[in-house]
Structure 1
Amino acid sequence: MRVDVPYAWPADEGEALALQDRMRGLADHRGPGPAHPRLVAGLDVAYAGDGRGTGDRVAAAAVVIDTATLAVVESATATGTTTFPYVPGLFAFRELPVLVEALRALRTTPDLLLCDGHGLAHPRRFGLACHLGVLTGLPTAGVAKTPFTGHYDPAALAPERGSHADLTAAGETVGRALRTRTGVKPVYVSTGHLIDLATATAHVLTLAPAYRLPETTRQADRLCRAALGAVGPGVRDTVGG
């Protein structure tokens, strides 16, 4: 699929912050997003080493799932070496170059992107899912294993599958804690671009019929780790959009 990047990747924190500020207003969180997406791509990144320094080897995976069968339709990987420093809130700039290359290797254009990370639930309201959505022009949402910003009332989150509670930050709803399995800790859903929170939540739940993580994330996680298999122990995930 075609992904155009109309700027050079930022070289430092100041450039990255300025780019986030410029692009934040381009993200559309109103949706409604695709009501019945047939093809959904999961995106994930793994690091070799501790993931906390420049020069880390990194692998990205894009896995396209057929929502009717949950079968993998197509997948692609890309590997590289990060050059952007480890800065919480700016992890997108460590991951975007390889994620874009993985997406470009796909022959299929998905109806929806779900990335392992955050979108609106970000300190500057422009996480990885927002950036990917704006770059690709596709509906995009983030599904994270842990929260990054915002809080929810645990008492409002029932133990049953499908229960959810809003994540709020500074009085704004930025995402949802979503229970995908009864009695299991939630995942954290936030909008990226061209989709609303209710629609994103519904799609994540549909894609997680048997496990805590949606099948898109499970398959992408497995594939990006396999791409770094030759590195041996020390392949890590990072959190911080």
Structure 2
Amino acid sequence: MGIIGVPADWPADEEAARDVQRRLRGRLVLDEEGPAPGEGHVTGLDVAYDDERDLVAAAAVVLDARTLEPVGSATAVGRVSFPYVPGLLAFREIPTVLAALDALTVDPGLLVCDGYGLAHPRRFGLAAHLGVLTGRAAIGVAKNPFTFSYEQPGPDRGDFAPLLADGEEVGRALRTRGGVKPVFVSVGHRISLDNACAHALALSPRFRVPETTRHADALCRRALAEARAAE
């Protein structure tokens, strides 16, 4: 497996990256319902880093949305393409994530990112960014809160509370397991928030995090270990 370099036109500093976010945000589609839960394919996307070696490994794992069984997967390894800056993390990994998506041999369907969409300081997190670049419906399901306030949702599976930024609902804290801390769901592109939460629940029948994330997390870690061993 070759290592993907940083694209020649990639933003070189924070100001340029924020300009890209503001420009691409105008292409977001937020008035579509999106695919129905339990139908077609859903693809989990995740990355693993080795900052000492300047490597990022990305995995895309396609699941049958009804059975949650894997039907395809691909990985890619690249150079970290941007420094660590909160709110600009997408720029560290997007070239490698796109390479993994491009390597799939089955239709990915809905993209499920381990991160954020509209729940972002400029309303343009990884799920929104990838949705716009690929034209696909995308959601973010994050394990930890970011820059918004929220009340604790009720204790039962399916209970939720709004994520608020300047009084605007930008996502939801969603309980995917009773008595377990919530995940944080936000719209990325071409899907409604109600539907994004329905997908997050459908993808999390046994554990707190979606099966898409669990599969992609394991695969990208394995790909990173193989890339380290090959150096």
TM-score, L = length of structure 1: 0.88
Cα separation, 1, equivalents of 2:172 and 2:116: 11
SS of corresponding position for 1:142: strand
Measure how far apart 1:98 and its partner are.
Answer: 0.3
Do the aligned residues in 1 keep the contact of 2:162 with 2:170 (CA within 8 Å)?
A: yes
Cα separation, 2, equivalents of 1:146 and 1:76: 26
SS of corresponding position for 2:172: strand
Give the residue type in structure 2 aligned to 1:21.
Answer: R
Structure 2 partner of 1:47:
49
Cα separation, 1, equivalents of 2:150 and 2:81: 35
The unaligned stretches of length 5 or more in structure 1 are: 1-6, 233-241
The unaligned stretches of length 5 or more in structure 2 are: 1-7
Do the aligned residues in 1 keep the contact of 2:110 with 2:138 (CA within 8 Å)?
A: yes
Do the aligned residues in 1 keep the contact of 2:171 with 2:185 (CA within 8 Å)?
A: yes
What are the equivalent positions in structure 2 for 1:54-93 lying under 5 Å apart? 56-93=54-91
Structure 2 partner of 1:148:
146
Structure 1 partner of 2:206:
210
Do the aligned residues in 1 keep the contact of 2:131 with 2:137 (CA within 8 Å)?
A: yes
Match of 2:134 among 136, 152, 167: 136
**Deviation string for 1:152-179 (max 9, x for gaps)?**
112xx11111111110100100000011
1:183–1:190 Cα change, 3 Å: same
Match of 1:196 among 192, 196, 204: 192
SS of corresponding position for 1:228: helix
Structure 1 partner of 2:224:
228
Cα separation, 2, equivalents of 1:61 and 1:108: 14
Cα separation, 2, equivalents of 1:202 and 1:227: 30
Measure how far apart 1:85 and its partner are.
Answer: 1.3
**Deviation string for 1:85-120 (max 9, x for gaps)?**
111110100010100000000111222000111000
Cα separation, 2, equivalents of 1:87 and 1:56: 15
SS of corresponding position for 2:26: helix
SS of corresponding position for 1:68: coil
**Deviation string for 1:8-64 (max 9, x for gaps)?**
3212212111111111121122221112431000000111147xxxx6211000000
Structure 1 partner of 2:177:
181
SS of corresponding position for 2:209: coil
Structure 2 partner of 1:12:
13
Cα separation, 2, equivalents of 1:68 and 1:34: 13
Give the residue type in structure 1 aligned to 2:47.
Answer: V
SS of corresponding position for 1:124: coil
Of structures 1 and 2, the one with the larger relative CO (CA 8 A, separation 6+) is 1
TM-score, L = length of structure 2: 0.92
Q: How many residues align?
A: 221
Cα separation, 2, equivalents of 1:179 and 1:112: 21
Percent sequence identity over matched residues? 60
Measure how far apart 1:201 and its partner are.
Answer: 0.3
